[in-house]
Structures are given as structure tokens and as C-alpha cells.
């Protein structure tokens, strides 16, 4: 049988944006959005101009994570002006629709909404645009990966997720559309007991690093499971913004440095 055709997709870059990096995961709930936001703040911490695009059309989390609400204004043309928080320019479907209304959209409408949030927005000059991808590796995600002019992708995984091959599927998805995988972040990697400072490797240690090596992609770092990360995330003050000199910010800044 003939080899599958690799069609380079029509995906012109976006004027003013130097590079677009996707943050993806094989499944939901692994901390992809939390990582995307803190990674974006990690880039901003070294002086980069950073935007974040919430491509999770069905379950946008950027409004909650950045404590942003309200509709973006439109400029003189018809481009939307992104909202801003903690120095990040942000665009999300959550700004455009009522949170209570479930979105029952078909694929083509999702693509057109994404294209609009990507291209009909006054991003201005950005060194990097971080795209928080929808979870999973189905057709919708593949189409997105194919249609967004991505410089690369970061895969977020928990230790169990890695063991369960979801992360590998994510990798395969980007490889299919010729997007370089910049590396794997292991989230909820270990736990430091706040009272004793003792580290517990709940799911074992070193698995993700080994797996990244096996897969031939960089290992970008481990993020502990931590109350401060959960609370700051869920209250709209991400940990890198709230405690820029704290231990968690240091972890995300390291990951940001390795991603570049």
C-alpha cells in the first residue's frame, strides 16, 4: 500500500508573532492549562512579549486561570483587542460566550472560531504566543495542530498518563503534521510534605525522564503536586505571577528556558 501522503498545510505565519508554541496533553485534567499559563509567565519573566491563546473552545480555562472576564473590544478595523493580565495578552472563547451556555459546535465552526481568535486579534508584536490546546489527540486536535503555524509543541503529562501511552499519542499527533515536539513536562510528579519537607515520589521517580529519552524528545522538567499551585491556579493568580521568586516559579522558569 502507498505510504501516507504528508501534505504540508496552508498555514501562513501571523505578522508580528515570532513563534507559536502549543501546550498539549493526551487527556484532560493533567494540568495542561496550569502549565501553559505558568510557562507563558516564565517566558514573560525573562522579558519576552508573550500572548496566550486558549484553543480549548469547549472548555476554556484561561479566563479562570488569569481572572479575566469581559468581552474584548474591537479596534477600528474588525480585529479584537486581547485582554491582558500579569503582562500577558490573552484571548479565549470564554471571553466571547456565556459560560453557562454549552457549546455544541461542529468541527468547521470550531476551526473558524480558532482562526478568528488567532488571526483577527491585534496581538501586536509578540516574541511568543502560547496556545493552550484542547485535551486529547482526536481529529479536532489534529486539525488544529495542522492549521496553526506552530514552531513546536510541549506535551504535559502526569506519571500515570505517561505510563498509559496518552503522551505518546500526543507525540505521534504532532509528528504526523511535522510539528517538532519541544519536550515533555511531567506534572504532579512528586509531593513535598509541607510539615516535614520530605519528598514523596508517589508514582515512582525518573519514569518520565526515561520515557522522554526512549521517545527521543527533551525532558523539560518535573512539577510537584502542590496546594499552592492548585489554589493559585483556581483563584486566578498563577503561582509564577503571585510568587515570582518562589520555588514553584523557579521550576516553571527552568522549563521555559529549556523550551526555547
Q: Does 230 bind ligand ADP (CB under 6 A)?
A: yes
How many angstroms separate the CA atoms of 237 and 227, rounded?
A: 13
Is 1 marked within a binding site? Answer: no
Q: Does 61 bind ligand ADP (CB under 6 A)?
A: yes
Shortest separation between residue 130's beta carbon and ligand ADP, angstroms? 13
93: left (phi over 0), alpha (psi -120 to 50) or beta: alpha
Query: Cβ closer to ligand ADP: 49 or 233?
Result: 233
Q: Does 188 bind ligand ADP (CB under 6 A)?
A: yes
Residues in a beta bridge with 23:
132, 154
Query: Cβ closer to ligand ADP: 80 or 117?
Result: 117
Which residue from 16, 28, 194, 247 is in contact with ligand ADP, where contact means CB under 6 A?
Answer: 28
- Please identify which residue in the block is written with the cell numbers 459560560: 99
Is 59 marked within a binding site? Answer: no
Task: Please say whether the beta carbons of 72 and 45 come within 8 A.
Answer: no
Interface with ligand ADP (CB under 6 A), residue total 19
Q: Does 221 bind ligand ADP (CB under 6 A)?
A: no
Q: What would the x/- binding string for ligand ADP be over residues 98 to 137, using CB under 6 A?
A: -------------------------------------x--
Query: Cβ closer to ligand ADP: 178 or 231?
Result: 231
Helix and strand numbers, DSSP H then E, in the chain: 11, 10
CA distances from 87 to 33, 41, 67, 210 (A): 17, 8, 13, 35
Query: Cβ closer to ligand ADP: 84 or 234?
Result: 234
Q: Does 40 bind ligand ADP (CB under 6 A)?
A: no
- Number of neighbouring beta carbons within 10 Å of residue 126: 22
Q: Does 234 bind ligand ADP (CB under 6 A)?
A: yes
204: nearest Cα among 156, 254, 163:
163
Which range, of 66-74, 104-112, 113-121, 224-232, touches ligand ADP by CB under 6 A?
224-232
- Number of neighbouring beta carbons within 10 Å of residue 156: 28
Amino acid at each position: 500500500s502507498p505510504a501516507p501522503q504528508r501534505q504540508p498545510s496552508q498555514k501562513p505565519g501571523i505578522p508580528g508573532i515570532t513563534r507559536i508554541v502549543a501546550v498539549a496533553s493526551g487527556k484532560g485534567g493533567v494540568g495542561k492549562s496550569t502549565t501553559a499559563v505558568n510557562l507563558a509567565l516564565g517566558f514573560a519573566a525573562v522579558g519576552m512579549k508573550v500572548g496566550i491563546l486558549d484553543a480549548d473552545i469547549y472548555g476554556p480555562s484561561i479566563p479562570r486561570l488569569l481572572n479575566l472576564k469581559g468581552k474584548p473590544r474591537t479596534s477600528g478595523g474588525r480585529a479584537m483587542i486581547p485582554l491582558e493580565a500579569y503582562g500577558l495578552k490573552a484571548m479565549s472563547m470564554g471571553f466571547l460566550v456565556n459560560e453557562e451556555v454549552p457549546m455544541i459546535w461542529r468541527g468547521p465552526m470550531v476551526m473558524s472560531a480558532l482562526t478568528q481568535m488567532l488571526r483577527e486579534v491585534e496581538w501586536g508584536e509578540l516574541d511568543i504566543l502560547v496556545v493552550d490546546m484542547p485535551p486529547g489527540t482526536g481529529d479536532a486536535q489534529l486539525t488544529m495542530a495542522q492549521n496553526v503555524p506552530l514552531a513546536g509543541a510541549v506535551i504535559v503529562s502526569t506519571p500515570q498518563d505517561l505510563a498509559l501511552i496518552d503522551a505518546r499519542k500526543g507525540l505521534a499527533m504532532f509528528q504526523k503534521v511535522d510539528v517538532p515536539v519541544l519536550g515533555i513536562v511531567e506534572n504532579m510528579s512528586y509531593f513535598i510534605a509541607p510539615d516535614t519537607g520530605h519528598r514523596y515520589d508517589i508514582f515512582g521517580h525518573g519514569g518520565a525522564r526515561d520515557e522522554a529519552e526512549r521517545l527521543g524528545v527533551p525532558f523539560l522538567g518535573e512539577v510537584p503536586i502542590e496546594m499552592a499551585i492548585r489554589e493559585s491556579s483556581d483563584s486566578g493568580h498563577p503561582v509564577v505571577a503571585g510568587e515570582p521568586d518562589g520555588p514553584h516559579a523557579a521550576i516553571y522558569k527552568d522549563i521555559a528556558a529549556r523550551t526555547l
